[in-house]
Amino acid sequence: MVGTLDRMTAVPLFAPITLRGVTARNRVWLAPMCQYSVDARDGIPTQWHLVHLGARAAGGFGLVMTEATAVTPEGRISAQDTGIWTDRQAEHWAGITGFIKEQGAVPAIQLAHAGRKGSTAQPWHGRGSVAPADGGWITSGPSARPFGDLAAPVAMTVEQIDATVQAFAEAAKRAADAGFEAVEVHAAHGYLLHQFLSPLSNRRTDSYGGSFADRIRLTVRAVDAVRAAIPERIPLLLRLSATDWADGGWTVEETVELSALLSGHGVDLFDLSSGGNDPGQQIPIAPGYQVPFARSVRAKAGTPTAAVGLITEPRQAQGILDEGSADAVFLARAALREPAWPLRAAHELGVAAADAPYPVQYRRGAYPA
Ligand SMILES: Cc1cc2nc3c(=O)[nH]c(=O)nc-3n(C[C@H](O)[C@H](O)[C@H](O)COP(=O)(O)O)c2cc1C
């Protein structure tokens, strides 16, 4: 007679995973997704965020990650983004983390600074820059080089870099106090930290640009500051764009080297995405197209990874774990279509309904055996 845990671990996608002092009930995780839904422009999460995140926690995801949450007002992608640069924002997040935990999921926050890709409109109102006169702001970045046709940023001073590191640390502390049980630093998709990593956007000649050691300096400092600000038991995740998919850009080899280094700085899991820093990027999009990045980092840095990107089918997700490419998968768009994707996946992979992550209120709707 196999026990409950044995039955569940026979399906690795639904086996628990522990990072530091936090255990996720399974390895199907909700990817960070901006909702551009803070109408009051105060960075305070709304009922939309509670419902968006809460529905997926009730839908069986093991870890539920917030959208890119800004560490400063200028660090937002749009004025409608959430933030965690004030205690009041943190108080509102605390209600949401409490609900996610009640559903048995791990509440995680993605801490972000948009840099030169900030001050844009909600995507459904067009993607261009919003001028300061229209409620936007002047963006900053490593160098005064714009992203595509967005407004040009101002190159950050060393004092502004120091203040940004401090902002990541304070945001991380607030996040832990608000009940988040995992913190992800966003260093992907062409946002501030990625802008410093990539030679395409970083043309600095001081100690924050030029060589690999100098381009990674801000990311290493942000990781160290966040790690120092959160309790020992809380895992630290890092999202990286493994490649710029553009000539002269950030490379997979650099990603592996940085991951190996940061494994020694307390990063517990690498979340491998790609692209976002160069409008000319050429991405060979296909199911699971970013999985090889998770596999390389896992093999060469020896640290757990999560794969993301066009993972849509339960057997595909299971296969990524079976082949040793990653320790967890993040789902984004499939989870927008189907908030309870993990419940269907559990059924299709043969997890008994009694062992699947249904809220008690939903048990009568379990897939028939
Ligand atoms: C609506 C939407 C918003 C997103 N916002 C974020 C974000 O805030 N932070 C981030 O790192 N990635 C963001 N992404 C990227 C996703 O996390 C994910 O990496 C990407 O969509 C690929 O996964 P998928 O094929 O499962 O959608 C967003 C994606 C979507 C569709």
Instruction: Tell me the per-residue pLDDT of 137-181, one tens digit each, with 9 for 90 and over.
Output: 999 999 999 999 999 999 999 999 999 999 999 999 999 999 999
Query: Nearest residue CA, atom 6 of ligand 1?
Result: 33
Identity of the amino acid at 177: D
Spacing, Cα 250 to ligand 1 middle (Å): 20
Average pLDDT over residues 71-96: 98
Catalytic residue among 36, 191, 208, 358: 191
pLDDT of residue 198: 98
The closest residue, in CA terms, to atom 30 on ligand 1 is 33
In angstroms, the CA 233 to CA 244 distance is 33
Provide the terminal-to-terminal Cα distance of the chain, rounded to the nearest Å: 19
How confident is the model over 173-190, as a mean pLDDT?
98
pLDDT of residue 369: 86
What is the reported pLDDT for 106?
99
Tell the burial category of 146 from Cβ atoms under 10 Å away from its Cβ (0-12, 13-18, 19+).
middle
Which CATH code is given to the segment(s) 4-365? 3.20.20.70
Distance 67 CA to ligand 1 centre (A): 9
Please, what is the average pLDDT of the chain?
96
Mean pLDDT of 220-237: 98
Global model pTM greater than 0.85: yes
Please tell me the distance from the alpha carbon of residue 107 to that of residue 181, in angstroms, as a whole number: 6
Number of Cβ within a 10 Å radius of residue 293: 28
Q: What percent of the chain has pLDDT over 70?
A: 98
Q: So what's the pLDDT on residue 86?
A: 98
Residue corresponding to tokens 């984004």: 332
β-strands 305-308, 328-331 pairing? parallel
Q: Is 362 a catalytic residue?
A: no
Whether 291 lines ligand 1, by a CB cut-off of 6 Å, is: no
Please classify residue 368 by burial: count the beta carbons closer than 10 Å to its beta carbon, then call 0-12 exposed, 13-18 middle and 19+ buried. exposed
Q: Tell me whether residue 39 is exposed, middle or buried, using C-beta atoms within 10 angstroms of its C-beta: 0 to 12, 13 to 18, 19 or more.
A: exposed
Give the residue whose CA is nearest to atom 10 of ligand 1: 32
- d(CA 312, CA 142) in angstroms, rounded, equals 36
Residue 310, ligand 1, Cβ within 6 A: yes
The pLDDT, as a whole number, for residue 9 is 56
Domain coordinates in residue numbering, the chain: 4-365
* Mean pLDDT score, 221-244: 98
pLDDT of residue 6 exceeding 70: no
- CB of 340 within 6 A of ligand 1: the answer is no
The per-residue pLDDT for 223 is 99
pLDDT at 2: 38
Beta bridge pairs of residue 312 = none
Strand pairing partners for 328? 306
110 ligand 1 Cβ < 6 A: yes
Which H or E element spans position 23? Answer: strand 22-24
**Average pLDDT in the 304-324 region?**
98
Task: Judge if the beta carbon of residue 334 lies within 6 A of ligand 1.
Answer: yes
Task: Write out pLDDT tens, residues 8-37.
Answer: 458 999 999 999 999 999 999 999 999 999
Report the pLDDT value the prediction gives residue 127, as an integer from 0 to 100.
Answer: 80
